[in-house]
């Protein structure tokens, strides 16, 4: 049983506080969804947990089975069992998926000879064309292919806790289903714990959340069961905004959901 514990986490960028005290505990096999409007700090949360440069931790703690995550280098966090599926996976010219995963396995003391077969197996499971496996990382991949690529890596690396930063953005319905189904399976097969950051409920049809958290202006305003996602879907985030939110930041015009059912 693994436990990612986030306590009183405060963090910002360039001196501006974005996360204003986050408390979350994700355990093996659990799926937690963090939903919130634009600018609520969802992506900041995922980046701070993984240690992306440019983010400043102002207070609080993040531990993985008691080990202090915030003092680890990003690669050490990954080796400890954390994984971040990025919203915008970075293009790395000239470096293949194979090279990267072999380097990761080698650093972990795992057998790098296993990488190839695992890649092929994972590619089949999520319908990722094998010809992409030898391409430079994320170069000339479509949005959906990039997310399948992230999911494939998750499958190969077998992390203990995965943070999904808007896995559902920029991908088509088929890719969304393939990716979210694979991650749901991982929660059962390997006991993966998931912190799924998302704007919309559609990610959560295949990947069924145990807990839904509503993040507004850097704070978790409400936590509850999957039914919270339905409230968001029906009513938007208005129900979770207080008067002071309206004064502090007039809500941005609603971002049209390109996947919304026009008849729904």
Partner 1 sequence: MWRYSRVDELDLDAFSPARADAVAPIAQVDAEGLVPGAISVLVVDGRMVPDPDGSSSLDPGLEIGPVDQVAGGEDTLGSVVDEGPDAFAELNTAFSPPALVVRVRPGLTVARPIVITQRVTADGHAVFPRVIIQAGEGSAFTVLERYASPDIVALVAPVVEIDVGRAARVSYVAVQELGPRVWQIANQVSQVGQEATFLAASTALGGDYARLRTDCRLTGRGATGDLLAAYFGEGAQTLDFRTFQDHRAPDTTSNLLFKGAVGGHSRSVYTGLIRVRKEARGTNAFQTNRNIKLSDHAWAESVPNLEIENNDVHCSHASAVGPVDDEQRFYLESRGVPPRVAERLVVAGFFDEVLARIPVPAVLDPLRARIAGKLDRREQEDG
Which residues of the shown chain bind partner 1 in the complex (CB under 8 A)?
Answer: 50-53, 73-75, 77-79, 83-84, 86, 89-95, 99-101, 103-104, 106-108, 136-137, 153, 157
- C-alpha distances in Å from residue 171, one per residue of 132, 168, 229, 235: 16, 6, 20, 24
Q: Do 97 and 137 form a contact (C-beta atoms < 8 A)?
A: yes
Task: Report the C-alpha gap between 197 and 26 in whole angstroms.
Answer: 13
- What is the smallest separation between the CB atom of 98 and partner 1, expressed in angstroms? 11
- What is the smallest separation between the CB atom of 90 and partner 1, expressed in angstroms? 4
Numbers of helices and strands, H then E, in the chain: 8, 12
Distance from chain centroid for Cα 90 = 15
Judged by CB, which is closer to partner 1: 31, or 162? 162
Task: Report the C-alpha gap between 151 and 167 in whole angstroms.
Answer: 9
Task: Report the C-alpha gap between 70 and 250 in whole angstroms.
Answer: 33
Judged by CB, which is closer to partner 1: 53, or 66? 53
Judged by CB, which is closer to partner 1: 153, or 187? 153
Torsion-angle region of residue 147: left (phi > 0), alpha (psi -120 to 50) or beta? Answer: alpha
Judged by CB, which is closer to partner 1: 109, or 256? 109
Task: Report the C-alpha gap between 251 and 141 in whole angstroms.
Answer: 33
- What is the smallest separation between the CB atom of 27 and partner 1, expressed in angstroms? 22
- What is the smallest separation between the CB atom of 140 and partner 1, expressed in angstroms? 12
Judged by CB, which is closer to partner 1: 85, or 204? 85
- What is the smallest separation between the CB atom of 75 and partner 1, expressed in angstroms? 4
Which residues, listed in sequence order, are joined to residue 224 by a DSSP beta bridge? 212
- What is the smallest separation between the CB atom of 26 and partner 1, expressed in angstroms? 18
Judged by CB, which is closer to partner 1: 88, or 259? 88
Closest CA to 211 of 200, 196, 221: 196
């Amino acid at each position: 049983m693994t436990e990612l514990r986030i306590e009183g986490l405060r963090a910002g960028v360039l001196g501006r506080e974005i996360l204003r005290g986050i408390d979350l505990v994700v355990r093996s096999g659990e799926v937690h969804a963090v939903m919130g409007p634009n600018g609520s700090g969802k992506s900041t949360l995922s980046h701070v947990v993984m240690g992306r440069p440019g983010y400043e931790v102002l207070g609080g703690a993040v531990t993985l089975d008691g080990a202090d995550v915030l003092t680890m280098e990003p690669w050490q966090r990954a080796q400890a069992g954390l994984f971040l599926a990025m919203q915008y996976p970075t293009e790395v010219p000239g470096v293949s998926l194979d090279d990267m995963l072999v380097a990761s396995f080698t650093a972990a003391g795992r057998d790098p000879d296993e990488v190839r077969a695992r890649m092929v197996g994972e590619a089949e499971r999520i319908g990722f064309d094998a010809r992409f496996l030898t391409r430079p990382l994320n170069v000339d991949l479509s949005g959906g292919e990039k997310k399948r690529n992230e999911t494939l890596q998750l499958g190969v690396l077998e992390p203990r806790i995965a943070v999904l930063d808007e896995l559902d953005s920029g991908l088509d319905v088929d890719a969304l289903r393939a990716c979210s189904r694979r991650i749901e399976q991982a929660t059962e097969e390997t006991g993966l714990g998931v912190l799924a950051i998302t704007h919309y409920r559609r990610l959560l049809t295949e990947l069924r959340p145990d807990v839904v958290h509503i993040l507004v202006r850097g704070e978790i305003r409400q936590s509850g069961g999957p039914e919270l996602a339905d409230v968001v879907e029906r009513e938007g985030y208005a129900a979770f905004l207080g008067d002071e939110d309206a004064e502090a930041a007039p809500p941005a015009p609603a971002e049209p959901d390109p996947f919304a059912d026009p008849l729904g």
